[in-house]
Chain A
Amino acid sequence: MSSGSFFSWAALGILCTLLLAFIRVCRGPSAEDRLLGIQSFGTVGTAVVILLYLVEGSSGYLDVALVMAMLAAVTVITFTRILPGAGDVDPGEAPAPQSEPPAS
């Protein structure tokens, strides 16, 4: 098996795990679950691009992976920062909550 073909298979395998994660995004149930899905898709997409880079060998692909890694977080951060019930502060500035979080 040539190395290019091996990397293609690996990319295909990772793409399939992406589709598994996609089931979670469709099911939800909460908005946070879907956002987790997006975060996962960002990481996995970066990995697929890196593998495609190994197949094709053109250095532009690596820039794509870099941009993807940098901007995949923007959506998640936007979501957590501006949507209702989320715009509060990190613990460093928040008054410490009195009760422990539920052990779930």
Chain B
Amino acid sequence: MIVFDLLSALFICMGVFFFFASAVGLLRFPDTLCRMHALAKADNLALGCVILGAVFQQTDPLIIGKLLLIWVVTLLSSATGGFLLAQRIRRKHLAQQEAG
């Protein structure tokens, strides 16, 4: 069981690191699309790490299933939301180009 605990701690630490990286990216990157890039990749990876870390603490398959469902739902909504936002930004750029 100590192996599982260590794995769990490792993954959660990775999750915290990636959350930190995505926050720094969100803060430091120069424009909106770059920030979205940082956010969409690092955040979902970090959540995946945290969930994996949590899975190593569980034995009940129902709970594990629920944890994985949370990850899938987040991936899906983040992909859709990110896509819709990016589309909006791109359209704005195009409109600016036409105007300028």
Contacts and interface: CB of A to CB of B under 8 A. Distances in A.
Q: Do chains A and B touch in the complex (CB under 8 A)?
A: yes
Interface in B1-44: 5, 9, 12-13, 15-16, 19-20, 22-24, 26-27, 31-36, 39, 43-44
B57 A43 contact: no
Contacts of B32: 30, 32-33, 36
Contact of A104 (B33, B67, B80, B83): B33
A44 B47 CA distance: 7
Category for how many chain B residues contact A: 35 or more
Contact of B94 (A54, A66, A77, A99): A99
Contacts, number: 153
Contacts of B89: 30, 32
The residue among A37, A59, A65, A70 with the most chain B CB atoms within 10 A of its own CB is A65
At the interface, is chain B mostly helix, strand, loop or mixed? helix
A24 to B, nearest CB: 5
A53 B91 CA distance: 41
Given A104-B31, A104-B33, A77 B84 contact: yes
A66 B97 contact: no
Interface residues of A, number: 51
Interface string B40-78: 000110110011001001000001001101100110011
A42 B83 CA distance: 16
B74 A23 contact: no
A81 B69 CA distance: 25
A30 B91 CA distance: 14
Contacts of A51: 12, 50, 54
Interface of A: 3, 6-7, 10, 13-14, 17-18, 20-21, 23-24, 30, 32-33, 35-37, 39-40, 42-44, 46-47, 50-51, 53-54, 59, 62, 65-66, 69-70, 72-73, 76-77, 80-81, 85-86, 88, 90-91, 97, 99, 101-102, 104
